[in-house]
Amino acid sequence: MRELKYNEAINEALKQALAKDDRIFLMGEDIGKYQGVFGVTAGLIDEFGEDRVMDIPISETSFGGIAAGAAMTGLKPIVEIMFMDFMTIASDGIFNHAGMLRYISGGQINIPVIFRTTCSAGGGSGCHHGQSLAAWAMHWPGLKIVVPSTPYDAKGLLNTAIEDENPILFIEDRSLYNTTGLVPEEYYTIPFGKAEIRREGDDITIVAIHRMVARSLSIAEEFAGKGISIEVIDPRTLFPMDKLAIINSIKKTGRLMIVEEGRKTNGVGSEISAVIAEEAIYYLQTPIIRVAAPMTPVPSSPPLESFYVPNEDNIRDAVNTLIA
């Protein structure tokens, strides 16, 4: 099995999908001749042409409606929204239309569209190019939400999304694009709603999202040397979410931490905490701890940005609180 970068794994999935299904086309800003701002669509316009790899104007307001309309006519658009922040502009078409048309039509209309977008702060890109807004998207019905943390998952989950006949929000952590991992060349899928236990443990459960998976694994390794066994769960998809995997883990450990880059207030961790409070509170030996970003805009200043994004020190401190 070869090693690929996270962005290369997504590129390969897109390439194989375009070759396999004539209904599929890509649309987005700078995805064609410019090869994508993060290199994800490199080489695709040369192989499949401008009719299937479309550079479109800077007009996110139109993205959702165009994609939903194309999907209604039998096509399968894959839309790149360069930064997740820009989804606020495209939100009417994505959430009010693509996400709800199947319900509104009584199940008569499928909307097989994928919205690919990026999250995560980095490089001083600031408050309009670095937010992690998965929790906001979770509030809207009709979309499946995917959060791959490895190159292997990025390709397999994107293949699953392409097979699906429902609208998908596929959130890529841009800080992971240059990370590498083993990725099969052949076609494979990963089921939605099935979490991956990245490390088994008996003392603490950590549910981590995107780049926080690697940071949590690093701390888990550190505490293993001190005799503390930490289980790290990667949900892979936020909707559907594998609640059972989290609950079964808590039955063993009695302690739960959720680590995400999104803001703590009303974040993904808030939803997971509420589920556990409703369905598994009697298994907890300590209060739940959430490690997340503060309730501020994403700073541009490198020192402030470093403080804003949860790091290993934050996770370490939270572990020490749980075992105190």
Catalytic residue among 97, 128, 129, 139: 129
d(CA 308, CA 258): 16
Q: Which two tokens stand for residue 183?
A: 């990725």
Nearest CA to 270 out of 238, 233, 240 is that of 238
Q: Which two tokens stand for residue 216?
A: 């949590």
d(CA 45, CA 221): 43
Active-site residue 129, yes or no?
A: yes
Catalytic annotation, residues = 129
